[in-house]
A and B are shown apart, each in its own frame.
Chain A
Amino acid sequence: MVRFVEFIGALFGKVLSEVGAIGLFVIKTLSVGISTFPNLKRFGEECYNIGIQSLFVVCSVGAFIGMSTALVGYATLKDLGAQNLVGIFIGIASIRELGPAVAAFMVAAKAGSGMAAHIATMRVKEQIDAMEVQAVNPFWYLIVPRFLAIMVVLPVLVVWNDFFMLGTGYMIAVFQLKINSGAVMENLLSTVAMADIWKGMIKGWVLALFIVSICTFKGFTCEPGALGVGKATNQAVVYCIAILIIINFFLSQWLYGGIGLRGM
């Protein structure tokens, strides 16, 4: 029993110290970001890296998830005899939940783990130390441009993803499942409001902050050697995806949920 309590205590201590370390890291980044003028050239490069690298993956995954959504909605609603409502299902599922979530996952998996691997490699090869010796602040050169870039890029990718999911969902509903195209379109347009798209972008923006702080932190505090780089990449992806889903729940509860905030 004592050993169990000890174990739980050690686990909590470890988790809390990790969270605290990430918090300090973010505060340091914020202070550097506010006190210096951002490096615009690096910001442009990072926008290109994150956006263009992830664009293909986000769009292809989004397209196929849109297809699956249409199939599942059809299979569920067919039992109720309400196939025509599949438009509502596609609209709500894609724009409110899956659009932001899938875009954030794929950015975390592609750009986020790439970031962690890149920064960890620089740490292992002592390039970050070399940077400090040459009086270039590594936060200014490596971390702040990534923070700014991902906050700009991820909401845009969310909109792209929404577009692809709705498009493929519509095509599957009309051409594979043979539902009346007017009914699908009508239901889709009557449920989806402009506010939903804005809320999706807000979600993407918040999730972006979590992705970039975890991934850059994991890369920046990497252990030595090839093993350390692998471990940093692995942990960055796992923590990101787990935390994204938990945060996504709270965001949904805040933006669409019932507790005292209905009608927001």
Chain B
Amino acid sequence: MELPDAASLCEKLAEQIRPHLTPDTALIGIHTGGVWLAERLHHALGITEALGTIDVAFYRDDFGSRGLHARPRKSDIPFDIDGRPLILVDDVLYTGRTTRAALNELFDYGRPGRVDLAVLVDRGERQLPISPRYCPLTLTESLPTGSRLRLSRSEAGELSLRIINA
């Protein structure tokens, strides 16, 4: 499957978000791809509020069967989320389970005013009632089960989309 250029998708995503920004909107990236993407958006949109990051490892629903992965990172939300509009940023939306975990984690920090979801790619096949508000690309054909669609970042900082087959 031909994958589009991540940088131009990222620009499109920023333009989708821009008209809806309010002065107190904050971005929260989900580790790891979502954080890279959120950093780009944060810069492109000129958001002044610091960037939040979360690692959903402690909220995953498969902990009982898979345990913790080797190196979870610290979540860091350097602002008060109560009443604030938040945009949760992830690279790829698939089953929706990561988004569910991220929402649960967010609500342990307080009660946000609203939460929207921004993703670079929606690969479909949802298992939960979750949909993105901002998404520049929706895949129409499904990827083989077990294959993973991921954002990767080169040493020079360039983002690209990759399919990793199981």
Q: Do A and B form a real pair?
A: no
